[in-house]
Amino acid sequence: MAGGRNSTIVIRFILLGFSDYPKIKIALFVVFLGSYLLTVAWNLGLIILIRMDSHLHTPMYFFLSNLSFLDFCYVTSTTPKMLSDFFQKPKSISFLGCTMQYFFFSSLGLTECCLLAAMAYDRYAAICNPLLYTAIMSPTLCVQMMVGACITALFGSLIQLCALLQLNFCGPNVINHFFCDLPQLLVLSCSETSFLKVMKFVIAVIFGVISVSVIMISYGYIIATILKTSSAEGRSKAFNTCTSHLTAVICFFGSGLFVYMHPSTDDSLDHDKMASVFYTVVIPMLNPLIYSLRNKEIKDAFKRCKKRAFSHCHS
């Protein structure tokens, strides 16, 4: 930067990250590094397991493997940079790098919104129309839903990116966060940001409300169908698969709405940072566990995989 506030152009941003906690810097680094490695291992492991086991080649696990891939990309878009910043002074990022980080982060987040809605529809088809399930959730439809989610999310993020690139940043250039997120960038801009704030709110409403509506309507039919089921075992199995998905939905949308659906102020940024840790680091790590711990098919597939590996070793 050069000159006064009205004439300077920011070409780099400083990410404060967790510099407010110098005494526990090493401990935080170890925790975040461990979380990242576990996230990568669990999500990639689940993808490989689903690909290797033919019993899991169903729409439900097609969407689950894509969710794991999204979570892997999602956490990788922010965490490696955050980890490297623990030992860098200054913790800087270029303007282009900052905007592109937000673009990829936003695209992956919006895609996950759509994917969670698609997974709810899949559960609706499986529980409410079991005889027509394979016809309804054809491989072609599953791929179309996944591609549609990606394209829609990319379009929503691209609109925000184009508007973001029109803003001027003349200083200060310090971001009170561990990655480049839109609320923090809007606070630093010296341009009029009302339009982008409204756009951010509208996109959050469109993706959030439509996705949550699809999920709620699907589960309304699911609950009605389960209550009519006479078999206790059938009810239990249906509730188990739905509980995992609902837990993931509540965690993801709850933390996301907290950050993006309220006005950003200097006072709220510290709270946003803590909430962001939850949905950028914790949720991608927990999703494979949420879907696996109470899932008999995943456990059985893992046992078959271990048995095949054991047989190969002895042969």
Residue in 47, 24, 28 with CA at minimum distance from that of residue 36: 28
Domains and CATH numbers, the chain: 12-314 (1.20.1070.10)
What pLDDT was estimated at residue 267? 56
DSSP secondary structure letter of residue 94: E
pTM, 2 dp: 0.88
Over residues 207-225, the mean pLDDT reads 92
Write down the pLDDT at residue 8. Answer: 56
* CB of 39 closer than 8 Å to CB of 67: no
- 43-54 burial, b at 16+ Cβ within 10 Å, e below that, comes to beebbebbeebe
Q: How far, in Å, CA of 154 to CA of 103, rounded?
A: 8
Of 128, 121, 107, the C-alpha closest to 210 is 121
Residue 114 scores a pLDDT above 90: yes
Tens-digit pLDDT profile for residues 224-269: 988 887 777 767 777 777 888 888 898 888 877 776 666 555 555 5
Look up residue 247 and give its DSSP letter: H
Token couple for 282: 């914790």
Strand 92-94 relative to strand 12-15, pairing: antiparallel
CA–CA separation, 8 and 170 (whole Å) = 5
The helix/strand/coil state of 13 is strand
C-beta of residue 46 within 8 angstroms of C-beta of residue 65 = yes
Tokens 């490297």 belong to 84
Read off the pLDDT of residues 83-95 as tens digits, 9 standing for 90 and up.
999 888 888 899 9
* Higher pLDDT pick, 172 / 293: 172
